[in-house]
Structure 1
Protein backbone atom coordinates (compact mmCIF):
# COMPACT_ATOMS: atom_id res chain seq x y z
CA UNK A 1 0.00 0.00 0.00
CA UNK A 2 2.86 2.41 0.79
CA UNK A 3 4.34 2.07 -2.72
CA UNK A 4 0.93 2.57 -4.29
CA UNK A 5 0.35 5.67 -2.17
CA UNK A 6 3.57 7.18 -3.53
CA UNK A 7 2.86 6.35 -7.18
CA UNK A 8 1.03 9.57 -8.06
CA UNK A 9 4.10 11.74 -8.52
CA UNK A 10 4.69 10.10 -11.91
CA UNK A 11 1.40 11.61 -13.13
CA UNK A 12 1.33 14.84 -11.11
CA UNK A 13 0.55 17.11 -14.08
CA UNK A 14 -2.23 14.81 -15.28
CA UNK A 15 -3.61 14.62 -11.75
CA UNK A 16 -3.89 18.39 -11.69
CA UNK A 17 -5.41 18.59 -15.16
CA UNK A 18 -7.94 15.77 -15.10
CA UNK A 19 -9.11 15.34 -11.50
CA UNK A 20 -12.16 17.45 -10.55
CA UNK A 21 -11.78 20.03 -7.81
CA UNK A 22 -14.11 20.40 -4.84
CA UNK A 23 -17.34 22.42 -4.73
CA UNK A 24 -17.92 25.42 -2.45
CA UNK A 25 -20.73 23.44 -0.81
CA UNK A 26 -18.06 21.27 0.78
CA UNK A 27 -16.51 24.16 2.66
CA UNK A 28 -19.97 25.34 3.69
CA UNK A 29 -20.75 21.89 5.12
CA UNK A 30 -17.52 21.74 7.12
CA UNK A 31 -17.95 25.32 8.42
CA UNK A 32 -21.56 24.67 9.46
CA UNK A 33 -20.51 21.54 11.35
CA UNK A 34 -17.66 23.36 13.11
CA UNK A 35 -20.03 25.97 14.59
CA UNK A 36 -17.04 28.25 15.21
CA UNK A 37 -14.55 30.06 12.98
CA UNK A 38 -11.94 27.90 11.24
CA UNK A 39 -8.75 29.89 11.48
CA UNK A 40 -6.13 27.19 10.84
CA UNK A 41 -6.22 23.87 9.05
CA UNK A 42 -3.78 21.03 8.46
CA UNK A 43 -4.23 19.02 5.27
CA UNK A 44 -3.15 15.38 5.11
CA UNK A 45 -1.95 14.14 1.70
CA UNK A 46 -2.67 17.33 -0.21
CA UNK A 47 -1.81 16.02 -3.68
CA UNK A 48 -1.77 18.91 -6.16
CA UNK A 49 -3.86 21.12 -3.88
CA UNK A 50 -7.39 20.60 -5.20
CA UNK A 51 -8.89 20.95 -1.71
CA UNK A 52 -6.17 23.34 -0.53
CA UNK A 53 -7.44 26.03 -2.88
CA UNK A 54 -11.00 25.66 -1.63
CA UNK A 55 -10.12 26.16 2.04
CA UNK A 56 -7.38 28.76 1.51
CA UNK A 57 -9.73 30.69 -0.74
CA UNK A 58 -12.19 31.02 2.13
CA UNK A 59 -9.65 32.64 4.42
CA UNK A 60 -8.31 29.58 6.25
CA UNK A 61 -4.58 29.49 7.02
CA UNK A 62 -3.76 26.08 5.53
CA UNK A 63 -0.67 23.97 6.13
CA UNK A 64 -0.42 21.19 3.57
CA UNK A 65 1.48 17.95 4.02
CA UNK A 66 2.29 15.65 1.11
CA UNK A 67 4.90 12.86 1.04
CA UNK A 68 5.48 12.88 -2.73
CA UNK A 69 7.92 15.57 -3.87
CA UNK A 70 6.55 15.75 -7.42
CA UNK A 71 2.98 16.20 -6.21
CA UNK A 72 4.10 18.88 -3.78
CA UNK A 73 5.97 20.70 -6.53
CA UNK A 74 2.80 20.69 -8.66
CA UNK A 75 0.76 21.92 -5.69
CA UNK A 76 3.09 24.88 -5.18
CA UNK A 77 2.35 26.03 -8.72
CA UNK A 78 -1.37 26.37 -8.02
CA UNK A 79 -2.00 27.38 -4.41
CA UNK A 80 -1.84 30.87 -2.88
CA UNK A 81 1.45 32.00 -1.36
CA UNK A 82 -0.29 32.11 2.02
CA UNK A 83 -0.34 28.29 2.08
CA UNK A 84 2.43 26.61 4.08
CA UNK A 85 3.74 23.43 2.45
CA UNK A 86 5.59 20.55 4.01
CA UNK A 87 6.87 17.31 2.49
CA UNK A 88 5.94 14.60 5.00
CA UNK A 89 3.76 11.56 5.41
CA UNK A 90 1.06 11.72 8.06
CA UNK A 91 2.94 9.24 10.22
CA UNK A 92 6.12 11.37 10.12
CA UNK A 93 4.65 14.76 10.99
CA UNK A 94 5.83 14.83 14.59
CA UNK A 95 4.94 18.07 16.32
CA UNK A 96 2.87 19.94 13.75
CA UNK A 97 0.97 22.10 16.23
CA UNK A 98 -2.76 22.07 16.90
CA UNK A 99 -5.37 23.30 14.46
CA UNK A 100 -9.05 24.13 14.26
CA UNK A 101 -9.44 21.64 11.41
CA UNK A 102 -7.53 18.64 10.11
CA UNK A 103 -8.75 17.24 6.81
CA UNK A 104 -7.88 14.66 4.18
CA UNK A 105 -9.14 14.88 0.60
CA UNK A 106 -9.23 11.43 -1.01
CA UNK A 107 -6.09 10.59 0.96
CA UNK A 108 -7.00 9.09 4.34
CA UNK A 109 -7.05 5.51 3.04
CA UNK A 110 -3.32 5.82 2.34
CA UNK A 111 -2.52 6.43 6.02
CA UNK A 112 -1.53 3.59 8.35
CA UNK A 113 -4.35 2.40 10.64
CA UNK A 114 -2.17 1.89 13.72
CA UNK A 115 -2.45 4.96 15.90
CA UNK A 116 -4.33 6.88 13.21
CA UNK A 117 -6.91 8.50 15.48
CA UNK A 118 -4.74 9.29 18.48
CA UNK A 119 -2.29 10.93 16.08
CA UNK A 120 -5.13 12.85 14.42
CA UNK A 121 -6.53 14.02 17.74
CA UNK A 122 -3.11 15.32 18.78
CA UNK A 123 -3.17 17.66 15.77
CA UNK A 124 -6.48 19.26 16.78
CA UNK A 125 -7.50 21.90 19.27
CA UNK A 126 -9.99 20.79 21.92
CA UNK A 127 -13.31 20.43 20.13
CA UNK A 128 -11.60 20.84 16.76
CA UNK A 129 -12.95 19.21 13.62
CA UNK A 130 -11.68 16.33 11.51
CA UNK A 131 -13.00 16.01 7.95
CA UNK A 132 -12.44 13.32 5.35
CA UNK A 133 -13.97 13.65 1.91
CA UNK A 134 -13.69 12.29 -1.61
CA UNK A 135 -15.20 9.77 -3.93
CA UNK A 136 -14.60 8.05 -7.25
CA UNK A 137 -15.37 9.56 -10.63
CA UNK A 138 -17.81 7.09 -12.16
CA UNK A 139 -19.60 6.86 -15.49
CA UNK A 140 -23.26 7.76 -14.98
CA UNK A 141 -24.60 5.68 -17.88
CA UNK A 142 -24.68 2.00 -16.81
CA UNK A 143 -24.33 0.77 -20.40
CA UNK A 144 -21.20 2.86 -20.97
CA UNK A 145 -19.82 1.77 -17.59
CA UNK A 146 -20.38 -1.89 -18.53
CA UNK A 147 -18.60 -1.39 -21.86
CA UNK A 148 -15.61 0.22 -20.16
CA UNK A 149 -15.51 -2.55 -17.57
CA UNK A 150 -15.45 -5.20 -20.32
CA UNK A 151 -12.67 -3.34 -22.14
CA UNK A 152 -10.63 -3.08 -18.95
CA UNK A 153 -11.04 -6.60 -17.59
CA UNK A 154 -8.37 -8.35 -19.72
CA UNK A 155 -5.82 -6.05 -18.08
CA UNK A 156 -7.35 -5.11 -14.73
CA UNK A 157 -10.07 -6.88 -12.76
CA UNK A 158 -11.01 -3.80 -10.74
CA UNK A 159 -9.82 -0.22 -10.52
CA UNK A 160 -11.47 0.48 -7.15
CA UNK A 161 -9.99 0.56 -3.66
CA UNK A 162 -11.83 -1.63 -1.17
CA UNK A 163 -13.08 -0.19 2.12
CA UNK A 164 -10.03 -0.14 4.43
CA UNK A 165 -11.97 -1.77 7.28
CA UNK A 166 -14.05 -4.08 5.11
CA UNK A 167 -17.36 -2.26 5.62
CA UNK A 168 -19.84 -3.51 2.96
CA UNK A 169 -21.11 -0.88 0.52
CA UNK A 170 -24.72 -1.39 1.64
CA UNK A 171 -24.08 -0.40 5.27
CA UNK A 172 -25.53 2.95 6.39
CA UNK A 173 -22.25 4.22 7.87
CA UNK A 174 -19.20 3.91 5.66
CA UNK A 175 -15.49 4.11 6.39
CA UNK A 176 -13.93 6.19 7.95
CA UNK A 177 -17.11 6.95 9.88
CA UNK A 178 -17.11 3.37 11.12
CA UNK A 179 -13.68 3.83 12.69
CA UNK A 180 -14.49 7.28 14.03
CA UNK A 181 -17.60 5.95 15.79
CA UNK A 182 -15.41 3.41 17.60
CA UNK A 183 -12.67 5.87 18.46
CA UNK A 184 -12.32 7.22 22.00
CA UNK A 185 -10.82 10.40 20.58
CA UNK A 186 -13.77 11.60 18.50
CA UNK A 187 -17.50 12.21 18.85
CA UNK A 188 -20.47 13.65 16.90
CA UNK A 189 -19.67 11.61 13.80
CA UNK A 190 -21.64 12.69 10.73
CA UNK A 191 -21.79 11.35 7.18
CA UNK A 192 -23.22 13.10 4.13
CA UNK A 193 -22.96 13.14 0.35
CA UNK A 194 -22.66 16.14 -1.95
CA UNK A 195 -24.07 15.03 -5.30
CA UNK A 196 -22.37 16.19 -8.49
CA UNK A 197 -22.82 15.43 -12.18
CA UNK A 198 -20.17 16.58 -14.62
CA UNK A 199 -19.48 16.11 -18.32
CA UNK A 200 -16.09 15.07 -19.65
CA UNK A 201 -14.76 14.39 -23.10
CA UNK A 202 -13.74 10.78 -23.71
CA UNK A 203 -10.11 11.87 -23.77
CA UNK A 204 -10.40 13.68 -20.46
CA UNK A 205 -12.06 10.66 -18.85
CA UNK A 206 -9.16 8.46 -19.95
CA UNK A 207 -6.88 11.22 -18.64
CA UNK A 208 -8.61 10.83 -15.28
CA UNK A 209 -8.12 7.05 -15.41
CA UNK A 210 -4.40 7.65 -15.97
CA UNK A 211 -4.28 9.18 -12.45
CA UNK A 212 -5.92 6.19 -10.73
CA UNK A 213 -3.38 4.09 -8.86
CA UNK A 214 -4.61 0.76 -10.26
CA UNK A 215 -3.76 1.93 -13.79
CA UNK A 216 -0.51 3.62 -12.75
CA UNK A 217 0.72 0.27 -11.44
CA UNK A 218 0.10 -1.55 -14.74
CA UNK A 219 3.07 -2.21 -17.02
CA UNK A 220 3.37 0.66 -19.51
CA UNK A 221 2.42 -1.52 -22.51
CA UNK A 222 -0.71 -2.84 -20.80
CA UNK A 223 -1.65 0.64 -19.64
CA UNK A 224 -1.49 1.93 -23.22
CA UNK A 225 -3.56 -1.00 -24.47
CA UNK A 226 -6.30 -0.63 -21.87
CA UNK A 227 -6.62 3.11 -22.51
CA UNK A 228 -6.87 2.47 -26.24
CA UNK A 229 -9.57 -0.16 -25.66
CA UNK A 230 -11.51 2.16 -23.35
CA UNK A 231 -11.36 5.04 -25.84
CA UNK A 232 -12.84 2.78 -28.50
CA UNK A 233 -16.00 2.10 -26.47
CA UNK A 234 -16.57 5.62 -25.14
CA UNK A 235 -18.87 8.15 -26.78
CA UNK A 236 -17.40 11.55 -27.63
CA UNK A 237 -18.55 12.97 -24.28
CA UNK A 238 -19.56 11.18 -21.09
CA UNK A 239 -21.63 12.16 -18.07
CA UNK A 240 -19.94 11.27 -14.82
CA UNK A 241 -21.01 10.98 -11.23
CA UNK A 242 -18.50 12.77 -9.02
CA UNK A 243 -20.31 12.67 -5.68
CA UNK A 244 -18.29 13.78 -2.65
CA UNK A 245 -18.72 11.62 0.44
CA UNK A 246 -18.06 13.65 3.59
CA UNK A 247 -17.26 12.37 7.08
CA UNK A 248 -17.00 14.80 9.97
CA UNK A 249 -16.10 14.28 13.62
CA UNK A 250 -15.20 16.41 16.61
CA UNK A 251 -12.20 15.90 18.86
CA UNK A 252 -13.32 14.97 22.34
CA UNK A 253 -13.00 18.14 24.39
CA UNK A 254 -11.48 16.76 27.59
CA UNK A 255 -8.50 14.99 26.03
CA UNK A 256 -5.08 16.03 27.37
Structure 2
Protein backbone atom coordinates (compact mmCIF):
# COMPACT_ATOMS: atom_id res chain seq x y z
CA UNK A 1 0.00 0.00 0.00
CA UNK A 2 1.36 3.39 -1.00
CA UNK A 3 1.14 5.61 2.08
CA UNK A 4 1.96 8.89 0.31
CA UNK A 5 -0.38 8.77 -2.68
CA UNK A 6 -1.09 12.27 -3.95
CA UNK A 7 1.62 13.91 -1.82
CA UNK A 8 4.16 16.31 -3.27
CA UNK A 9 7.71 16.35 -1.92
CA UNK A 10 10.96 18.25 -2.29
CA UNK A 11 14.26 16.62 -1.34
CA UNK A 12 17.25 18.96 -1.28
CA UNK A 13 20.53 17.39 -2.30
CA UNK A 14 18.65 14.54 -3.92
CA UNK A 15 20.97 13.49 -6.72
CA UNK A 16 23.02 10.94 -4.74
CA UNK A 17 23.49 9.20 -1.43
CA UNK A 18 20.83 9.62 1.24
CA UNK A 19 19.00 12.22 -0.84
CA UNK A 20 18.63 10.00 -3.89
CA UNK A 21 17.53 7.02 -1.80
CA UNK A 22 14.98 9.23 -0.05
CA UNK A 23 13.60 10.67 -3.28
CA UNK A 24 13.13 7.18 -4.69
CA UNK A 25 11.53 5.84 -1.52
CA UNK A 26 9.03 8.71 -1.37
CA UNK A 27 8.13 8.08 -5.00
CA UNK A 28 7.76 4.37 -4.26
CA UNK A 29 5.29 5.33 -1.53
CA UNK A 30 3.25 7.34 -4.04
CA UNK A 31 4.61 10.89 -3.90
CA UNK A 32 5.62 13.20 -6.71
CA UNK A 33 9.19 14.24 -5.95
CA UNK A 34 11.34 17.23 -6.86
CA UNK A 35 15.01 17.19 -5.97
CA UNK A 36 17.82 19.70 -5.99
CA UNK A 37 21.43 19.31 -7.03
CA UNK A 38 24.47 21.56 -7.38
CA UNK A 39 26.77 19.31 -9.37
CA UNK A 40 25.97 16.03 -11.05
CA UNK A 41 23.10 16.99 -13.31
CA UNK A 42 23.27 13.60 -15.03
CA UNK A 43 22.86 11.81 -11.71
CA UNK A 44 19.90 14.02 -10.83
CA UNK A 45 18.27 13.27 -14.17
CA UNK A 46 18.76 9.54 -13.59
CA UNK A 47 16.93 9.77 -10.27
CA UNK A 48 14.10 11.69 -11.93
CA UNK A 49 13.87 9.06 -14.68
CA UNK A 50 13.49 6.35 -12.04
CA UNK A 51 10.78 8.37 -10.29
CA UNK A 52 8.89 8.80 -13.54
CA UNK A 53 9.25 5.10 -14.31
CA UNK A 54 7.20 4.50 -11.16
CA UNK A 55 4.41 6.61 -12.63
CA UNK A 56 5.15 9.63 -10.44
CA UNK A 57 6.11 13.14 -11.43
CA UNK A 58 9.78 13.97 -10.96
CA UNK A 59 11.67 17.25 -11.22
CA UNK A 60 15.36 18.13 -10.99
CA UNK A 61 16.20 21.66 -9.90
CA UNK A 62 19.68 23.13 -9.80
CA UNK A 63 19.92 24.99 -6.50
CA UNK A 64 22.81 25.84 -4.20
CA UNK A 65 21.35 25.92 -0.70
CA UNK A 66 24.23 28.15 0.34
CA UNK A 67 22.73 30.91 -1.80
CA UNK A 68 19.80 32.53 -0.01
CA UNK A 69 17.75 33.21 -3.14
CA UNK A 70 18.20 29.66 -4.42
CA UNK A 71 17.28 28.06 -1.08
CA UNK A 72 13.93 29.82 -1.28
CA UNK A 73 13.42 29.57 -5.03
CA UNK A 74 13.67 25.77 -5.16
CA UNK A 75 10.71 25.51 -2.78
CA UNK A 76 8.70 27.91 -4.92
CA UNK A 77 9.61 26.06 -8.11
CA UNK A 78 8.67 22.66 -6.74
CA UNK A 79 5.35 23.92 -5.40
CA UNK A 80 4.55 25.68 -8.69
CA UNK A 81 5.41 22.60 -10.76
CA UNK A 82 3.36 20.21 -8.65
CA UNK A 83 0.54 22.53 -7.64
CA UNK A 84 1.50 22.48 -3.97
CA UNK A 85 3.91 20.97 -1.49
CA UNK A 86 3.32 18.52 1.36
CA UNK A 87 6.80 17.34 2.36
CA UNK A 88 10.16 19.09 2.59
CA UNK A 89 13.24 16.96 3.26
CA UNK A 90 16.21 19.15 4.18
CA UNK A 91 19.01 16.84 3.11
CA UNK A 92 21.54 19.06 1.32
CA UNK A 93 24.65 19.65 3.36
CA UNK A 94 28.40 20.06 3.21
CA UNK A 95 31.08 18.78 5.53
CA UNK A 96 34.46 20.30 6.25
CA UNK A 97 36.46 18.26 8.74
CA UNK A 98 39.72 19.87 9.85
CA UNK A 99 41.57 20.93 13.00
CA UNK A 100 40.18 24.09 14.54
CA UNK A 101 43.24 26.18 13.71
CA UNK A 102 43.06 25.17 10.05
CA UNK A 103 39.49 26.29 9.41
CA UNK A 104 39.37 29.39 7.22
CA UNK A 105 36.58 31.93 7.37
CA UNK A 106 35.45 30.74 3.94
CA UNK A 107 35.04 27.20 5.31
CA UNK A 108 33.02 28.46 8.27
CA UNK A 109 30.77 30.61 6.11
CA UNK A 110 30.14 27.86 3.55
CA UNK A 111 29.23 25.18 6.08
CA UNK A 112 26.96 27.45 8.10
CA UNK A 113 25.29 28.92 5.02
CA UNK A 114 24.39 25.51 3.58
CA UNK A 115 23.82 23.44 6.71
CA UNK A 116 22.06 26.06 8.83
CA UNK A 117 20.92 29.11 6.86
CA UNK A 118 19.89 27.04 3.83
CA UNK A 119 17.82 24.71 6.00
CA UNK A 120 16.23 27.66 7.78
CA UNK A 121 15.32 29.47 4.54
CA UNK A 122 13.95 26.37 2.82
CA UNK A 123 11.89 25.54 5.91
CA UNK A 124 10.62 29.10 6.11
CA UNK A 125 9.55 29.04 2.47
CA UNK A 126 7.95 25.61 2.79
CA UNK A 127 6.06 26.55 5.96
CA UNK A 128 4.19 29.19 3.97
CA UNK A 129 2.93 26.52 1.57
CA UNK A 130 2.46 23.33 3.57
CA UNK A 131 -1.12 22.30 4.36
CA UNK A 132 -2.34 20.57 7.50
CA UNK A 133 -0.54 17.24 7.60
CA UNK A 134 2.59 18.77 6.09
CA UNK A 135 6.04 17.60 7.06
CA UNK A 136 9.47 19.19 7.41
CA UNK A 137 12.05 16.44 7.86
CA UNK A 138 15.69 17.43 8.29
CA UNK A 139 18.77 15.26 8.01
CA UNK A 140 21.24 15.98 10.80
CA UNK A 141 24.22 13.88 11.86
CA UNK A 142 25.35 11.52 14.59
CA UNK A 143 28.07 14.10 15.25
CA UNK A 144 25.45 16.39 16.77
CA UNK A 145 25.09 13.79 19.53
CA UNK A 146 28.59 12.36 19.85
CA UNK A 147 31.82 13.71 18.39
CA UNK A 148 34.26 10.81 18.35
CA UNK A 149 37.46 12.76 17.79
CA UNK A 150 39.08 16.06 16.83
CA UNK A 151 38.47 17.84 13.56
CA UNK A 152 34.67 17.94 13.66
CA UNK A 153 34.02 21.22 15.46
CA UNK A 154 32.59 23.14 12.50
CA UNK A 155 30.48 20.30 11.12
CA UNK A 156 29.14 19.31 14.55
CA UNK A 157 28.26 22.93 15.28
CA UNK A 158 26.22 23.18 12.10
CA UNK A 159 24.34 19.94 12.70
CA UNK A 160 23.70 20.64 16.39
CA UNK A 161 22.00 23.90 15.37
CA UNK A 162 19.33 21.83 13.63
CA UNK A 163 18.15 20.43 16.94
CA UNK A 164 16.95 23.80 18.17
CA UNK A 165 15.65 24.65 14.71
CA UNK A 166 13.49 21.51 14.60
CA UNK A 167 12.09 21.88 18.10
CA UNK A 168 11.18 25.52 17.49
CA UNK A 169 9.59 24.70 14.14
CA UNK A 170 7.44 22.04 15.77
CA UNK A 171 6.17 24.54 18.33
CA UNK A 172 5.54 27.22 15.74
CA UNK A 173 3.80 25.01 13.19
CA UNK A 174 2.10 22.42 15.39
CA UNK A 175 -1.10 24.43 15.62
CA UNK A 176 -1.38 24.20 11.85
CA UNK A 177 -0.95 20.43 11.90
CA UNK A 178 2.56 20.55 10.42
CA UNK A 179 5.21 18.28 11.92
CA UNK A 180 8.96 18.93 12.09
CA UNK A 181 11.45 16.17 12.84
CA UNK A 182 15.19 15.58 12.69
CA UNK A 183 17.04 12.39 11.74
CA UNK A 184 20.63 11.81 12.86
CA UNK A 185 22.24 9.26 10.55
CA UNK A 186 25.25 7.34 11.79
CA UNK A 187 28.03 6.22 9.45
CA UNK A 188 26.25 5.59 6.14
CA UNK A 189 27.72 3.84 3.11
CA UNK A 190 27.85 6.55 0.42
CA UNK A 191 30.29 7.72 -2.24
CA UNK A 192 31.54 10.37 0.18
CA UNK A 193 32.02 7.92 3.07
CA UNK A 194 32.22 4.37 1.70
CA UNK A 195 31.95 1.41 4.02
CA UNK A 196 35.24 0.12 2.59
CA UNK A 197 37.03 3.46 2.81
CA UNK A 198 40.25 4.21 4.71
CA UNK A 199 38.43 5.45 7.83
CA UNK A 200 35.56 2.96 7.76
CA UNK A 201 36.77 0.42 10.31
CA UNK A 202 37.05 2.99 13.07
CA UNK A 203 33.58 4.33 12.35
CA UNK A 204 32.06 0.86 12.34
CA UNK A 205 33.67 0.08 15.68
CA UNK A 206 31.97 3.14 17.22
CA UNK A 207 28.52 1.72 16.48
CA UNK A 208 26.80 -0.87 18.65
CA UNK A 209 26.03 -3.06 15.65
CA UNK A 210 29.52 -2.90 14.19
CA UNK A 211 28.64 -1.80 10.68
CA UNK A 212 27.77 1.09 8.41
CA UNK A 213 24.14 1.80 7.67
CA UNK A 214 22.64 1.98 4.19
CA UNK A 215 21.00 4.93 2.50
CA UNK A 216 17.80 2.88 2.28
CA UNK A 217 17.71 2.60 6.08
CA UNK A 218 17.66 6.38 6.36
CA UNK A 219 15.13 6.70 3.54
CA UNK A 220 12.77 4.28 5.28
CA UNK A 221 12.74 6.49 8.37
CA UNK A 222 12.01 9.54 6.23
CA UNK A 223 9.12 7.70 4.61
CA UNK A 224 7.72 6.77 8.01
CA UNK A 225 7.96 10.34 9.32
CA UNK A 226 6.27 11.61 6.16
CA UNK A 227 3.35 9.20 6.56
CA UNK A 228 0.17 9.43 8.58
CA UNK A 229 1.55 6.76 10.89
CA UNK A 230 3.83 9.47 12.30
CA UNK A 231 1.11 12.07 12.83
CA UNK A 232 1.96 12.28 16.55
CA UNK A 233 5.72 12.50 16.02
CA UNK A 234 7.07 16.05 15.99
CA UNK A 235 9.69 18.24 17.62
CA UNK A 236 12.02 15.31 18.13
CA UNK A 237 15.35 14.00 16.92
CA UNK A 238 15.69 10.36 15.94
CA UNK A 239 19.06 8.63 15.75
CA UNK A 240 19.33 6.09 12.95
CA UNK A 241 22.94 5.37 13.78
CA UNK A 242 23.41 1.73 14.68
CA UNK A 243 23.98 2.73 18.29
CA UNK A 244 26.72 5.30 17.56
CA UNK A 245 25.41 7.51 20.36
CA UNK A 246 24.63 4.64 22.77
TM-score normalised to structure 1 length: 0.47
CA radius of gyration, larger in: 1
Task: Give the structure with the higher percent strand.
Answer: 1
Task: Give the structure with the higher percent helix.
Answer: 2
TM-score normalised to structure 2 length: 0.49
Higher relative contact order (CA 8 A, sep 6+): 1
